[in-house]
Structure 1
Amino acid sequence: MAEGQLDDSVREDNSALLDSVREDNSALLDSVREDNSALLDQYTDCARKFIDLVKDLDHIKGASKLQRMCRSELKYLQTLKKFSGAEVCGNHLKSSNLGHFAGCIHAAYNAPGVVQILSPFAMDGRSENLVVDVVANQGQTWVKVIARKAQALHLIWAGRGQFGERDLVKQAKDYLRCSSHHPINFQTPKVHFAFYNQVTVPMAECLEQLGISVSGERVAVDEGTANQISLACVSSSDEEDSEESSSESESNESVLQQERLSGLSGAHQDKQACFKHSGDLNCDTNTATKSWQIAKNVQLFNEMALLDSLVGSLPQFECLSESFTGTNSPSSLVIEKVNLDITTLITLVSSVTNGGCHFEFSEKVLAQQAAEERREPVLPKLKQFLHGKKMYVCQTALDDFRSILETLGGPEEKRRAEELLSDVTVVQDDPSDRTKDMPYSLKIRDRSKVIFGTGDKLRAVTVTANSSFVRAAQHQGVSFAVHLHPSRALTEEKEKSTLPSSKDQ
């Protein structure tokens, strides 16, 4: 055979071989794309149903934030449908936050006395707030949801994680330090870590030694993880001290969150910027559930096959429930002293709360308070809270209350006031230092600072209807121990020029 004919034959054979390889690779790629497309549909369906579940939590502060995050996740997943590449779908599905959201929803439904979801708390030495996934036990327990795999978390703890990943033990210390600056009824909140995809025994024991309570299935360190740690320790002397990069790691956490969208176009990255606030270690999709035991909408969860790959082990909250049994909440059990605000003194003696709510007041505010009182009286709950507690009032609150009473109060309201004050201990104004340091504003007035600050110094819970001051103080980083109730005014004198109500509203 001539040399030219031989070359042509070789080219034909190679061409046929290349065509065969292209066909095989094309078929394989089409198969992967089809699998990712089906998985993406499951993720999208799961996100929609999470949104529906969170709607039933709208009575809890922060639930709307979780719902917005679920909606943002849904938009992110819908954006992925525009990309047909198998690598795009596969890599970016791994950065979905659905595993973490699943844990937050489960904890919100199952932990006792949940009062807040995704609640931010300021912490000294940290520019960004520490966000607590679920605040339970009427504020006395902070629950952190961990939806990442146990072995991956153990590797990070052993210093074998990727650059920028902080191990849970360091995070636990942050939680303990932050909680000590945000007491509830003058007691430091307990910290609880809920693992939704198992936790290694050594890590769980280490957390418990720090004072963290732990729930979730405990497993041994597997052979592969142990080998990685051993090989890395032997082969790399340059990585002996992982502590050196901790401060730099903390500053890079937000950057790592943004990298989840690095494979998309710049325009799509802008649309998905809302994902930067995801938890430090809670973005692993290969996380947790064989069974889902949420009190409500159980059938809805059962219909989501994807949950088996999102959540693999379901933590229980019995250890939290033990301190939340009986008729009284934990917050009422630990309160011995209360500080009465002017608004509370007025509410306790007001005619509208003592049977005089069946009048048609011409003033809009009084009419509204009377209607609210007819629907849900304030006094029974307020007296139940005050029962058995030592009551204090500072001099400023007492003087202003007497002045208001003398100007607007009726005979019966004045009589009830004298009976009330006979059971109250009067103390001199003595606000705490942190209250004195608060800057003056329209909602942070000097009188309120004196009243709330004196209660703070006494370590007494301030009973008040002044919710605007409480919120304003929180924005300044000062959280007071308070018991809030609806506001009521003195109405006895107004009854003289008002007709009785013809119907209850």
Structure 2
Amino acid sequence: MEDEVVDEVYQQDLVSSVEKLYERCQYILNDCSTRQETRPLDGMYRLVQPLTSECLFLEKLLKNPSTIKRKYIQSTNLSYLEAVHDAVTMVGPINDIMRSVAVPHKNDQWMALSTMLRQHSLKVDLVAEEERVWIKVIARNTKAFRHEMAGLEWDNGSDDDDDFGYDDHFSDDDDDDDSVPACTFDELPIFKKARTYLECAQSHHVHYKVPVVVFAFMRIHYDQDPFVQRIMDRLEDMGICVYLQNHQQEGTSIRTRYLPAIQEAFGSTNGSLTTPMLNLDVSTVLALVSQLSHYGCSVDEIEGEALQTQASQEACSPILPILDQILCGGKQLYMVQSAFDRLKSIMDVVAGPTEIKRYLHLFPFLQTTTTTTATTATAPTPPKNDNDDVDLWTTLTPPPKITILPDEPSARFQRLLEPPLATPSTRGMTSKLNNGRKIRSRFSSFHAGIFGTADTLHMTTITAIQWMPAALLEAGLLGSAIVTHPPRSLAEQKMHIKKNGSGVD
């Protein structure tokens, strides 16, 4: 009789535990839904899907309380999912959740992104601050983490993504001796994991600067355990930014921990991500000088379907504020020789008179050439009026002059145009894929010259070719530095606006 009572109490405790887990799971799901409605976030579904599965599992258990066993509670992944959710509330602007990032092959062998991900990938729980921060969430508490370090079993719930694969040759004494043999401490698998993340981040640079890697120990307190703290100190020495709970500083968040590291690596968190020197694509200079960018018009005041589409886009989202934000802050502007040659050929045929004036402002050496070769018009140049810039550039801060650079594409961009090596699985197929190249057919040697030269010189490229970043990534080229914007074509000769004081006929 007494045993039956004990069993009943034990079962009631299990049911109560499942009910609490279910309530927690529902709360997190509801909060995720609210966040997604307020500010949609890429990758939120990767958190919501496993949470939904956990809820369904727990709900099924509650419908049949007699079937609940302790091992079912121990197998839940809610501890890790809750830790990721908690971390979401403690960081800055989030770009992605639970992203799989490709680890490049060590022998520099070319691989498409899909192949790279299949062979070796890491999961970054949170990507934040415009890709500048990678956050790995660890849900273990201090005792569980210490047991795992010692290679012992721990049955108080775990997150399956936080399995560092520890070997069982570490011992954990119950006394206060926290020492580990010097030859084995550096070999702890968590250090191997840290090195993997740091090395991978090097390949995924953000405008030629390496993302900050954060290990967020959501349930470990600062200085709670000397041995665990020693591990944390070593991780920081390796270059990992470590977040621990700190009772002495209640306001401490993950963001307050990594902000100094961001400022050291990238400068200001509010500043531009781009490099000080910018490489401009043909499409960007066309957008800069286009009359449509400076004097928008209605759809029925311009010829051509493509230009009419751009006129409609310009009315909804003007391009000049976007370009001003990209090019401001004392940036130095450059253009590759092959790109300039293509631009000049377009301007000579398509540009209107005001668009040519902007073009000559950006490339003043052309004015010198024109003046030298002219055989007429010897009248003195009139003094410049302050209103000239306003009429010419309207709301755009007059951009600095553009310097021409020789083409010098990097080896990795040149390799994109080569056919991939045939393998047993692809033999006979490579010629049919992207014309036998590693990247889609639209990518040409002209593109390789523009974007590859910027890669050689570690410069950000500004372009209106919006498919380019995805194409390079799919082709396995990691860490490219490209900023895209909407296109604006030369339009002055196709615009028919009645004179209204804007200077446009």
Match of 2:290? 350
- The AA in structure 1 aligned to 2:16 is D
The answer as to whether partners of 2:139 and 2:218 remain within 8 angstroms in 1 is: yes
TM superposition shift of 1:315: 4.3
Pick from 67, 70, 78 the counterpart of residue 48 of structure 2: 67
Match of 1:112? 92
The answer as to whether partners of 2:277 and 2:332 remain within 8 angstroms in 1 is: yes
Deviation per CA, 1:343-402, whole angstroms, max 9, x where unpaired? Answer: 211111111211234453464543343233233322123223213112111122212222
Deviation per CA, 1:42-61, whole angstroms, max 9, x where unpaired? Answer: 14423431431441475443
TM norm structure 1: 0.68
Give the distance between the partners of 2:164 and 2:124, measured in 1 at CA. Answer: 20
Deviation per CA, 1:239-264, whole angstroms, max 9, x where unpaired? Answer: xxxxxxxxxxxxxxxxxxxxxxxxxx
Deviation per CA, 1:238-293, whole angstroms, max 9, x where unpaired? Answer: xxxxxxxxxxxxxxxxxxxxxxxxxxxxxxxxxxxxxxxxxxxxxxxxxxxxx9x9
1:131 paired with 2:123, answer yes
Give the distance between the partners of 1:151 and 1:457, measured in 2 at CA. Answer: 49
The answer as to whether partners of 1:137 and 1:324 remain within 8 angstroms in 2 is: no
Structure 1 SS opposite 2:272: helix
Q: 1:497 to 1:445 in 2, by over 3 A?
A: farther
Match of 1:31? 12
TM superposition shift of 1:462: 0.6
What is the correspondence of 1:414-453 to structure 2 with a 5 Å cutoff? 414-422=356-364, 423-438=401-416, 439-453=438-452
Give the distance between the partners of 2:267 and 2:211, measured in 1 at CA. Answer: 21
Give the distance between the partners of 2:52 and 2:464, measured in 1 at CA. Answer: 35
Q: 1:104 to 1:372 in 2, by over 3 A?
A: farther
1:165 paired with 2:165, answer yes
Match of 1:373? 314
Give the distance between the partners of 1:68 and 1:403, measured in 2 at CA. Answer: 53
1:154 paired with 2:146, answer yes
The answer as to whether partners of 1:340 and 1:391 remain within 8 angstroms in 2 is: yes
1:413 paired with 2:355, answer yes
Pick from 50, 73, 92 the counterpart of residue 72 of structure 2: 92
Give the distance between the partners of 1:27 and 1:376, measured in 2 at CA. Answer: 66
TM superposition shift of 1:161: 5.8
TM superposition shift of 1:477: 2.4
Match of 2:385? none
**Residues paired across the two proteins, number:** 388
- The AA in structure 1 aligned to 2:466 is S
Match of 2:279? 339
Identity in percent: 26
The answer as to whether partners of 2:15 and 2:62 remain within 8 angstroms in 1 is: no
Match of 2:36? 55
Give the distance between the partners of 1:115 and 1:418, measured in 2 at CA. Answer: 40
CA RMSD of aligned residues (A): 3.3
TM superposition shift of 1:168: 2.7
Match of 2:238? 210
The answer as to whether partners of 1:104 and 1:133 remain within 8 angstroms in 2 is: yes
Give the distance between the partners of 1:450 and 1:350, measured in 2 at CA. Answer: 24
Normalized per residue, the structure richer in helix is: 1
Give the distance between the partners of 2:68 and 2:59, measured in 1 at CA. Answer: 16
Structure 1 SS opposite 2:473: helix
Q: 1:120 to 1:489 in 2, by over 3 A?
A: farther
Give the distance between the partners of 2:82 and 2:7, measured in 1 at CA. Answer: 36
Deviation per CA, 1:13-51, whole angstroms, max 9, x where unpaired? Answer: xxxxxxx36643552354245324423431442343143
Give the distance between the partners of 1:106 and 1:486, measured in 2 at CA. Answer: 36
Give the distance between the partners of 1:110 and 1:25, measured in 2 at CA. Answer: 43
TM superposition shift of 1:157: 3.0
The answer as to whether partners of 1:149 and 1:197 remain within 8 angstroms in 2 is: yes
**Which segments of 5 or more consecutive residues in structure 1 lack a partner in the other structure?**
1-19, 220-290, 294-313, 501-505
Q: 1:28 to 1:66 in 2, by over 3 A?
A: closer
What is the correspondence of 1:181-200 to structure 2 with a 5 Å cutoff? 181-198=203-220, 200=228
TM superposition shift of 1:474: 1.1
